[in-house]
Amino acid sequence: MEPFDLEQTRRLAELAAVPQHLRDNVWSENFRHAAINASLVSFNPQISNGPDSFPYFQLALPDPGPFTPFSIFHVMDHVLQVGAGVVIHSNARRDGQPLWVFTFGDILSYKMFGDFAGDPEKIAHPDGPPNPQDRNFLRASPNETYLPAEARVAIGRFMRGPFRVPTPKVGLVTGGALSPRQNLLVNLRPRDYQGDRNKLNAALRYLSWFVPKTYGLMALPDDWSDADMVGI
């Protein structure tokens, strides 16, 4: 794939002109398709924190005239190395709502699967309903293919930082009672939040920013050991 495509820039400009209430699933799919290698402008600094406190590489549709091009495809490896997402603005003034916000997990997903939405196989063949009676769980460690080094570093940095987990770890668990069947497992426990499930679920939602949308993510049950989990 060529890193820069002015035709896709033109396509993004057309999509940006569509009123908000008309932006349906087809609009979203067309936007994501055009966004990957559209020629866009960046800023100084290139990366800044969004309202959600996560860092984003800032891109925008260019004004008329010459400009230095950037694209998601062009900056993808750098974005993953520094643990950031990408935001696309409708103009270089950044004076309105962003056209689109890509999380770190979205960018990772494109790098892994060629699709911002996640693993196409999982999307095409989702898991059936969970079976609460099936209490068999298989635990393992995610390999580099399933959870690349950039994601491990970014998740570990976040867990040591805002979450103050001194030794963050990750594992993999599969079970018929789970939805989805396979989940990344992190060494946050209910007891770390005094049993407050709302706070624990909020913490997991923050961590979900780092993984593809088709990945499950769950906390470590209080009675499970983390001895076989991998440090990150």
Give the contacts of 138 (CB within 8 A, at least 6 positions apart).
173, 174, 175
Domain ranges of the chain: 6-102, 122-231
Per DSSP, the three-state class of 172 is strand
Cβ burial 39-52 (10 Å sphere, 16+ → b, else e): bbbbeeebbeeeee
- The confidence score (pLDDT) of residue 173 equals 97
- The confidence score (pLDDT) of residue 103 equals 98
**Residue 2 clears pLDDT 90, i.e. is over it:** no
pLDDT digits over 8-39, tens only? Answer: 999 999 999 999 999 999 999 999 999 999 99
CB distance 218 to 184 below 8 Å: yes
Confidence of residue 213 (pLDDT cuts 50, 70, 90): very high
Sign of CA dihedral 196, 197, 200, 201: negative
Q: Is the pTM of this model over 0.85?
A: yes
- The confidence score (pLDDT) of residue 1 equals 72
pLDDT digits over 53-75, tens only? Answer: 999 999 999 999 999 999 999 99
